[in-house]
Structure 1
Amino acid sequence: MIIDQRSRDRRGSIPFFCLYHVGIKKGRRINKRRSGAGAAYVDSYAPHLVLCTIAIVLLSAMDALLTLNILARGGTELNIFMAILMEDSTEKFVHFKLALTSLALIFLIIHHNHQLIAKLQVRHLLYLILFGYLTLIGYEVALLTISSS
């Protein structure tokens, strides 16, 4: 008996977490395979997305250091959860902040092709986060400049 293999779909479902998604295994696909609707996972990420992600992590570390500087000059932490972490230990605060930011960024870059609403995709959210951190760093530098005057 001969079975026609062409009519059967051999593709399996996409796992939620895969070694290809975090760059442990290298694949060849950078863009979506088809232009149809729906999100696509890729094997490698575009350099501008990787640079955006690295910049966000570095800005997050700079934010933590500037926050500690502002607090040393008499400022107060408005985020209650971070204030609790800082009361316990500044190392816990910095480690938790960087870990939380990094884990969120890993999730966002894996799903960068997903569409949120209308034409807003997750990768656009990464750019908004980068802009937000740049604005925050500028604000903190201005606060430190005012306090030193």
Structure 2
Amino acid sequence: MSDLEIRPATAEDLPAIVAMLADDPLGAQRESPDDLAPYLIAFERLANDPNQHVVVAVRGDKVVGTLQLTIIPGLSRRGTTRSIIEGVRIHSDERGSGLGTQLIEWAVEESGRQDCRLVQLTSDVTRTDAHRFYERLGFEATHVGFKKSI
């Protein structure tokens, strides 16, 4: 996979990123690839925040994967900085190729470079294949998460 590049996302990558976000049953309900305006606004906020890292995996000239890594300084755990991995998506043509592992490994390594001592992520309860994937990479299901839409 030496032809793969993991790099910061640009606004030009948004159509491909949003298409991957929408390319599963959950994403199809939540995402709107036909209207990129809200994604452009969100991307600008992310790009201006040094604790946000949206990256893409590119093979040739095609975006084939993405994730968002958020760095969170904290007081708990003796002032531990942690990271959160979100929005991990792999293009359907690349699923099962090892690309997801490469992206997660990149995020863990980058978290270490950012002085994080804990890497966490969430996954929808219906994504059982993803849960097995994360467990295979050494993540443990240690907490119960809660969300509230506002």
**Larger strand proportion, structure 1 or 2?**
2
Question: Please, what TM-score do these two structures have when normalized by structure 2?
Answer: 0.28
Question: Please, what TM-score do these two structures have when normalized by structure 1?
Answer: 0.28
Which structure carries more relative contact order (alpha carbon 8 Å, separation 6+)?
1
**Larger helix proportion, structure 1 or 2?**
1
